[in-house]
Structure 1
C-alpha cells in the first residue's frame, strides 16, 4: 500500500482508482484494518507537510546501498512504505497516553561496523569503522574487508576468522567474489584463497550471515559449501541467509534466490526461493515453510522487520544489536505479538517507545544497559 494513498484516504481525496486499491488492501486482512485505524487515531494534519517523495528517496537509497540483485529489492520497497507509516506514528508524540518511562542512566549505543580478524598465524586485528587495514591478501575500509581475487594452486589452505561482537556487523568479500554480510554475535571461518577446481568451503561457526555466492560458472564449475556443526548447505550460485546462534535451539536457513541442497545427517532437502528450513538442533527434526523473505533478511539493509513476532524473540534480536540485557517484569509480555518495521540506526529509546505506542507494553525502565519491560 502506497503511503500517499493512506494519507489521501484520511483527507478524503482518493481518486476512484485509488479508492479501489485502498478498499482491496483494507478488506484483505484484519491486520491491515487495525493498522489503518491506528494510523487514523494518531493522524495529524501535519502529515500533509511531510515530503513523502524525499523521505521515500532517502529510504530507498538506504536500502539499496548494498543492493546487489533485483531479488530482494522488491521486498525492500514494501518495507520502506511500512517504515514511513511506522515512523510517522512513532514520532507523533501528542498521541502518547501512558506514563513516562524511567531512564535512570543509559549507556546504550546503536550497533556499528566492527569486528576482529584472526589471521593464519593466530594474531588478532581489530577492524572498526573509520579505521583502514591492509595486508598482501586483503584490505579493509572499516566497514568491510575485501580479499584479493586469487586462486590457490598449492592444494593447501590457510584460514582467517572474522568475529563480529554483540553490537556489531561486518561485511566480507571472499577471494572468489562471494559476499558475506555478518550480523551481531557471529563468527565465520574461511580460506584466504580457495583451491582451484575444488569445492569452495566456509564455516559459519555461529551467528547469522547472508551469502551472495559467486557463481560456479566463474570458477570452472566449482560449487560452494557453507558448513555448520549441525548442517551443510551446498550451492552453485545463489543468495541465502543462515541464522545459527549459540543460544537458540533452532537453525534457520532461508533461500532468497537460486537453489540450495540442505544436508543434515542422512537427510537431504532442496529449497526453493522463499522457503525456510528450520532445524531443531536437540532432536534433529526439520521442517520447511514458506516465509516472507524480507522479514528474514532486512537486518542486512539496516532495518528491523517484525511480523507477528513474539516480543521475547524481538528483544533477543535487539539485545544483540544494542548490547543490552532485557528483563520482562511481566512474563506474559514475552509471548505478546508485534508487527513493525523500524530502523537499526534508531536509538533504543525510540525502538521501545514505538512498541509502547502500539500498546504492547504499558511502560519500561532503562538503567545503564538494562531494559525492564512492564
Structure 2
C-alpha cells in the first residue's frame, strides 16, 4: 500500500470516529487517538525516509482527483459548510496536525542547519479592540468579560442585541482584530461574522426592520453568515469595502480585502450576492469567487473549503506560492519574513495545517521536505 493510500485509509477511519461522536467539542479530547494511532502518526512525521517518499509521491499524484478520493472515502457531504470542518479535521489530525507539503521541483541538496534564536512565537488567539461610538476603547480577549447595554462579551466573542427603542440616530462601533488575533461577533440583527487577523469592521449597534442593514469591512478578512431579509421585513444586507458593495438576501460568503493586497476576493458559499461598484455589476453563485483589481472584476469557480477553512481553525493551501503562505502565517503568528533567496518566493506548495501548531513545526516541515533552509531571528523568519 502506498503512503497516499495509507493516508486515505487512515483519513476514513479517523473521520468515521469523528462523526460517531456526539459533540464537535469532543474533537479536542486528549484521548481522541488510540496509542496505535499516535504511534502511526508520529512515525510518518519523524521518519526521514517516509517524509522523502511522501514528497516524491506528492509530485506524481493528481491532487484534485485524489482530494476527491479522500472525501469519497470519508463519505462526508462537502456542499454544506457545517460538515467541512469534520472532513478537514480528519485530514489534519491524520497527518499529525501538520500534514504535508509538496514542492514543484525537489532538490537533492540537503538544507543548511536550522538556526533559531529563542523567542516565544505563539499562534494567534481570540482578541480584539472594540471602539464605542463615544470613542472609548475596550480590549477584548480570553479571560476578560465586557457587559454594557445590549452588548456582552465573554472574551472569545461579542454579542449585540437589537434595541427596538433606539433613537433615529444610528450609532456605530468598530471592532479591530490585531495581528495574531481573531474574533467572532454576532450583530444586533442576528448576522454572524468571523473576523480574521489584521481586520477591522464598522457596524451599527442596532438595526431597524425594513431599513437597509449595512456594515463596512474597512480592511482584512471576514466570513459572513447573514440573517435573512425575511426576518427583517425585507430589509437587505450590504457589506461595503473600499471599492465594492455586496448586496445579499440571506447567505454565507467570505471577503478578503487586506491592505497589503491590490485585490479584493469575494467567495460565495451559499445563497446569492450582487456585486457593484466602478465595474460591471456581477452576481455570484455558490462556489464562485470574484477577484476585483484595478476596477476590473473576474469570476471563477474555486475550492470553497480552501478559501474559508481559516474560520474552522485550519489553513488549507493549494498550489500557493511560499511568499503568499508566509503572508498568512505572518498575520496569525505576528512575525515577519525575509527571503534572502528570492528564487524560492514563487515555489508553490500544497498543505493543510492546524492553526494551533507552533511556527517551528510548520517551518520544519517546509524545510525538511523541500530542502529550504531557514532561520528565526527574534520574530523574523529568514529563508536562505
Per mean C-alpha deviation after superposition, the further-off stretch among 259-268 and 75-84 is 75-84
- 2:130–2:137: 8 Å Cα contact kept in structure 1? yes
1:232 aligns with 2:245: yes
Give the Cα–Cα distance (whole angstroms) in 1 for the partners of residues 292 and 99 of structure 2: 36
User: Structure 1: 5+ residue runs without aligned partners?
Assistant: 11-36, 44-68, 92-96
Q: Which residue of 2 aligns with 1:16?
A: none
**2:377 pairs with 362, 367, 370, which one?**
367
**CA–CA distance in 2 between the matches of 1:356 and 1:204?**
36
CA deviations on 1:283-335 (whole Å, 9 max, x unpaired) are 21110011000110111011010000000100001000111010111111110
* Residues 186 and 152 of structure 1, relative CA distance in 2, 3 Å threshold: farther
Cα shift at 1:345 = 0.5
1:6 paired residue number: 6
Q: Deviations over 1:143-187 (max 9, x none)?
A: 000001333663320000000001100111000000000000000
**1:65-89 superposed Cα distances (whole Å, 9 cap, x missing partner):** xxxx972134334423432343277
CA contact (8 A) 1:156 1:195 kept: no
In structure 2, the residue matched to 1:80 is: 89
TM-score, normalisation: structure 1 = 0.78
CA RMSD of aligned residues (A): 2.5
Counterpart Cα distance in 2 of 1:226 and 1:366: 39
Aligned partner of 1:132 in structure 2 is 145
Number of equivalent positions: 313
Question: Using the alignment, how far apart are the partners of 1:349 and 1:39 within structure 2?
Answer: 17
In structure 2, distance between residues paired with 1:337 and 1:40? 17
Q: How far 1:6 sits from its partner (Å)?
A: 1.9
Q: 1:166·1:321 contact (CA, 8 Å) conserved in 2?
A: yes
Contact preservation (8 Å) 2:195, 2:223 = yes
- In structure 2, what is the equivalent of residue 347 of structure 1? 358
Residue of structure 2 equivalent to 1:15:
none
Please state if 1:110 is matched with 2:120: no
Task: Kindly provide the CA deviation profile for residues 98-118 of structure 1, in whole angstroms up to 9, marking residues without a partner as x.
Answer: 554111222312111101000
Instruction: State the match for 2:46 in structure 1.
Output: none
In 1, the alpha carbon distance for the partners of 2:149 and 2:228 equals 25
**1:45-65 CA-partner distances (Å, limit 9, x unpaired):** xxxxxxxxxxxxxxxxxxxxx
Please point out which of 306, 322, 325 is paired with 1:314. Answer: 325
d(CA) in 1 for partners of 2:217 and 2:177?
A: 12
Higher mean displacement: 264-273 or 292-301: 264-273
Aligned to 2:289: 276
Q: Is the 8 A contact 2:92 2:98 kept in 1?
A: no
| Structure 1 residue 196, shift from structure 2 partner | 2.5
Please name the residue that 1:141 is paired with.
Answer: 154
> Is 1:263 aligned to 2:272, yes or no?
no
Secondary structure of the residue aligned to 1:105 is: coil
1:201 counterpart SS class:
strand
> Quick check: 1:199–1:225 contact (8 Å CA) kept in 2?
yes
| TM-fit CA distance, 1:4 | 10
Q: Deviations over 1:127-158 (max 9, x none)?
A: 11111110012000000000013336633200
Separation in structure 2 between the aligned mates of residue 248 and residue 117 of structure 1, nearest angstrom: 25
Length-normalised TM-score, structure 2: 0.76
Establish whether residue 294 from structure 1 lines up as the match of residue 294 from structure 2: no
Flag the 1:272–1:365 CA change in 2: closer, same or farther, 3 A: same
Structure 1, 147-156 or 219-228: larger mean CA deviation: 147-156
Q: Is the 8 A contact 1:365 1:373 kept in 2?
A: yes
Assess, with a 3 A threshold, how the Cα gap between structure 1 residues 339 and 100 changes in structure 2: closer, same or farther. same
Whole-Å separation in 2 of the counterparts to 1:211 and 1:150: 22
